[in-house]
Structure 1
Amino acid sequence: MERVTLPAAGWRDREELQALCRVLGADGGDTRVVGGAVRDTLLGCPVSDIDLATRQAPEDVLAALQRARVKAVPTGLAHGTITAVLSDGPVEVTTLRRDLATDGRHAVVAFTDDWREDAARRDFTINALYADPASGEIFDYFGGIDDLAAGRVRFIGDPLQRIAEDHLRILRFFRFHARFGSLPDAAALAACTARANDLMALSRERIAAELLKLLVAQGAVATLELMIAHDILLPVLPEISIAGVAKLAEVAGYEAAADLKPDPLRRLAALLPRDTALGEAIANRLKLSNAQRKRIVSALGAPGGTPPELTYRLGRDGALDRWLLTTSGTPAVDGARAIAAFAIPAFPLTGGALVQRGVGKGPDVARMLREVENAWIAEGFPDAERTAQLADEAVDQWRRSSSIV
């Protein structure tokens, strides 16, 4: 088999990473780079996370890092994972392992020194690629390089068995297909379709994390169409329909035309029916954070307002969400660009300024402040001098109304 090596990449030149690999015996073949860093480097994609696999036992890894004075955090010691904290970013180091027992969510593992055995427990062939840190030589036990070249996401071994070991692999298959795939692997698709109900056993947090990652992948729209066609999401998110995918496609097109980074929460909102109560219920079901839940509900709100007004009232992300979900065509793109460029002003009036004008402290101040702010927004955020005039006009009106009463 032809020897394949990693191309040059910036992360390979990190001095601390090279030193860490030497500490862990990479020169003797004990430690290799594994997974996403190898895969993405082969594709010429940016690499953010570095993972190392090692034949050394977890306690030996800890001891080696302590001797080298490298901060070590036992982030998953039961599963053999230790995080080495380097100045230019953390690196996860995991001892080679094999599964002893699985229940669809968790695995009991035993450590091994067999590289192929470690590769066999990984999900997809394209994620089971290892590389020598120094030479860049790649070790591919299950045809991952060919699958990567073909745009094929393929399970290692029997897809049904791999899904039984971890039900999240159903969503991971579609997420990786959205990012790397062309035509879906027939055996993988059939297995995911047959076992879609297994998703009901997963925590909603895990489902949400995978879905949000999928939504920003290049092939998100086509992949979601595939998922809808095969009823993959029906057990956990029955509200998502082909109409929602069409809206997602529209919003994704506007993001691209306006040079906006794909946003997972905006895209999730686009997928959902335009119903704030239902959106909140789905956000709660997915265990999204309070901030994420509020943003979903806001995105599904009623149309209205100019781009500057929406930006002031909802913030930049909130304004983009609402605008892109409620506006179509060229105005959607132009408005999105305006929102992205708008410098959000500070309202140049305080309640104290109204009190100084003779308004008694209490609810009248808060009400009048809102009225002046609304007038200020309607006039296009004028300067402090004009804002003071608006305040004077509001106070005069308040006095006239009070004298009539």
Structure 2
Amino acid sequence: MQISQNWIASKEARLIIEAIEKSGGEIRFVGGCVRDNVLEREVHDIDLATNLLPEEVIAALEASNITVIPTGLKHGTVTAVLNQQPFEITTLRHDIRCDGRHAEIEFTNSWQADASRRDFTFNALYADKYGNIYDYFDGLEDLRQRKLSFIGSPEARIKEDYLRILRAFRFHANICIGKISDEILSACSKHAEMISSLSGERIRDEMLKLLSCSDYLVPTLVSMQKCDVLQKIIPDKVSCNVLSHKILSEVDSIVKLALLLRTTVADRKSIGEYMSSFLRLSKKQKKKLMFILKNNISTDLSEKEQKRYICLFGLELYKDIIKICCIEAEKNVGEIQKYMLFADSCLIPDFPISGSDLQNIGYRQGKYLGESLKMVRNYWEASSYALTKDELLSYAKSLLSKKIEKIEYIAKKV
């Protein structure tokens, strides 16, 4: 079998291969790019393996005027950059010892030894510059059957790196059909407690990649629950079937995580804070997660109400929260799509008034300014966003005049 896509013959890939070969090295494409090509999927990241040592790789690339970054010298990895495209190049290696989180490696000249340290058979595929594929552990057959197979004993490989528990479920959801083997499920269940030894960043990356899957996500999450793996990440019981709605193919992983968490009996703010901390979510990710957990809107909205929420939340957040609330209200795809079509066709101008504008007409900074700005905004929304800035400032002046009159009236009474 050969590579069928044109990325293998790209100018950038050719320049890297030529640079390594000029220095007497051998180099092959490896891992996801080869696997995804066999699956006829789009290839994103291109990784390569070589028998040259890291310092030899650096010298070879620099001699060909290729930018090189020593991204992981300890593990034999450098990154070549051509036309702003990164290519990871790793020296062939095998593991000397592993502790479940870190591996001590040794460089080697054996392609099969390098393949044997990889986790799953279909991740240990290599391809040369001609597109010829090298398959040391029947990865091609497992891809044909859409079957997940560890290289060697599942338990032994999991004990080398406990992240492989989550990777097993992620690759199963993304590639495979049918059930995960009992041997793999048993090994994952036996060592589920060790997930807590992993960093939040590693767990987050695997979970968000898993949640980005669509076709086999729900059965995979159910399997994770049955072998007590999901509970080591989300401490409260969740209803995985909520993610089976077709409309969710259009949302990102944070939205799916939020929907899962909304099925728990836990306090939403508390579990949102816990998950954000446990998974080391970015500020942006946490803000989105907490927003979706804390907000609810009706699923029977007039066009005026829809415009109001779009203006209040912003288009994308509105679309996320209305999808979630519609799913919880058991609306069908057609009903949800009506909201999406309206939202996408709805043009709402930016609110033309700011706090500075109110200060310019006599408001003082403080609580009343904020309250008045909100009243002006509500007045603008009630006009279907038709009022101009001058008309809104006139309304704001009237509010201020009434406030001053009230203060003067109270003062006279005193």
What's the TM-score, normalizing by structure 2? 0.88
Q: Taking structure 1 as reference, are residues 142 and 284 closer, same or farther at Cα in structure 2, changes over 3 Å only?
A: same
Q: Confirm whether residue 312 of structure 1 aligns to residue 311 of structure 2.
A: yes
115, 131, 137: which one aligns with 2:132:
137
Distance apart, 1:75 and its partner CA: 0.4
Distance apart, 1:387 and its partner CA: 3.0
Q: Taking structure 1 as reference, are residues 157 and 26 closer, same or farther at Cα in structure 2, changes over 3 Å only?
A: farther
The aligned residue for residue 191 of structure 1 is: 187
* 8 A Cα contact 1:239 1:273, kept in partner: no
Instruction: For 1:270-289, list aligned pairs within 5 A.
Output: 270-273=259-262, 275-289=268-282
Q: Deviations over 1:102-131 (max 9, x none)?
A: 000110000001000000000000100000
Q: % of aligned pairs identical?
A: 36
Q: Confirm whether residue 291 of structure 1 aligns to residue 284 of structure 2.
A: yes
The aligned residue for residue 161 of structure 2 is: 166
The aligned residue for residue 295 of structure 2 is: 302
Distance apart, 1:279 and its partner CA: 1.4
Counterpart secondary structure, 1:297 = helix
Q: Confirm whether residue 387 of structure 1 aligns to residue 392 of structure 2.
A: yes
Counterpart code for 2:133: I
The aligned residue for residue 157 of structure 1 is: 152
Provide the rounded CA distance (Å) in 1 between the counterparts of 2:247 and 2:83. 38
Q: Taking structure 1 as reference, are residues 77 and 359 closer, same or farther at Cα in structure 2, changes over 3 Å only?
A: closer
Provide the rounded CA distance (Å) in 1 between the counterparts of 2:193 and 2:52. 39
310, 332, 339: which one aligns with 1:335:
339
* 8 A Cα contact 1:276 1:298, kept in partner: no
* 8 A Cα contact 1:300 1:325, kept in partner: no
* 8 A Cα contact 2:170 2:206, kept in partner: yes
Residue correspondences, number: 392
Instruction: For 1:253-264, list aligned pairs within 5 A.
Output: 253-256=246-249, 260=250, 262-264=251-253
Counterpart secondary structure, 2:81 = strand
60, 75, 78: which one aligns with 2:71:
75
Q: Confirm whether residue 216 of structure 1 aligns to residue 222 of structure 2.
A: no
Instruction: For 1:33-48, list aligned pairs within 5 A.
Output: 33-48=29-44
Q: Is there any run of 5+ residues in structure 1 with no aligned partner, and where? A: none
Distance apart, 1:27 and its partner CA: 11
The aligned residue for residue 406 of structure 2 is: 401
Provide the rounded CA distance (Å) in 1 between the counterparts of 2:348 and 2:72. 44
Provide the rounded CA distance (Å) in 1 between the counterparts of 2:365 and 2:150. 68
Distance apart, 1:349 and its partner CA: 1.5
Distance apart, 1:371 and its partner CA: 1.5
Provide the rounded CA distance (Å) in 2 between the counterparts of 1:356 and 1:82. 57
10, 13, 18: which one aligns with 2:6:
10
Distance apart, 1:26 and its partner CA: 8.9
* 8 A Cα contact 2:22 2:60, kept in partner: no
Q: Could you tell which deviates more after superposition, 211-220 or 386-395?
A: 386-395
244, 247, 255: which one aligns with 1:249:
244
Counterpart secondary structure, 1:214 = helix
Q: Taking structure 1 as reference, are residues 132 and 26 closer, same or farther at Cα in structure 2, changes over 3 Å only?
A: farther
Q: Deviations over 1:304-355 (max 9, x none)?
A: 3744333333333322332222224154332234334444531112334434
Q: Taking structure 1 as reference, are residues 271 and 102 closer, same or farther at Cα in structure 2, changes over 3 Å only?
A: same
Counterpart code for 2:160: E
Counterpart code for 1:167: Y
Q: Taking structure 1 as reference, are residues 176 and 382 closer, same or farther at Cα in structure 2, changes over 3 Å only?
A: same
215, 235, 252: which one aligns with 1:238:
235
Q: Taking structure 1 as reference, are residues 290 and 353 closer, same or farther at Cα in structure 2, changes over 3 Å only?
A: closer
Distance apart, 1:358 and its partner CA: 4.1
Q: Taking structure 1 as reference, are residues 341 and 215 closer, same or farther at Cα in structure 2, changes over 3 Å only?
A: farther
Distance apart, 1:10 and its partner CA: 3.1
Counterpart code for 1:294: K
226, 229, 246: which one aligns with 1:229:
226
Distance apart, 1:43 and its partner CA: 1.1
The aligned residue for residue 123 of structure 1 is: 119
Q: Could you tell which deviates more after superposition, 60-69 or 306-315?
A: 306-315
Counterpart secondary structure, 1:217 = coil
* 8 A Cα contact 2:186 2:227, kept in partner: no
Provide the rounded CA distance (Å) in 2 between the counterparts of 1:344 and 1:108. 57
192, 199, 212: which one aligns with 1:203:
199
* 8 A Cα contact 1:280 1:296, kept in partner: no
Provide the rounded CA distance (Å) in 1 between the counterparts of 2:308 and 2:92. 56
Counterpart secondary structure, 1:85 = strand
Counterpart code for 1:335: Y
Q: Taking structure 1 as reference, are residues 272 and 122 closer, same or farther at Cα in structure 2, changes over 3 Å only?
A: same
What's the TM-score, normalizing by structure 1? 0.90
Distance apart, 1:68 and its partner CA: 0.6
Provide the rounded CA distance (Å) in 1 between the counterparts of 2:36 and 2:75. 25
Counterpart code for 1:287: R
Counterpart secondary structure, 1:198 = helix
Provide the rounded CA distance (Å) in 2 between the counterparts of 1:155 and 1:361. 64
* 8 A Cα contact 1:357 1:395, kept in partner: no
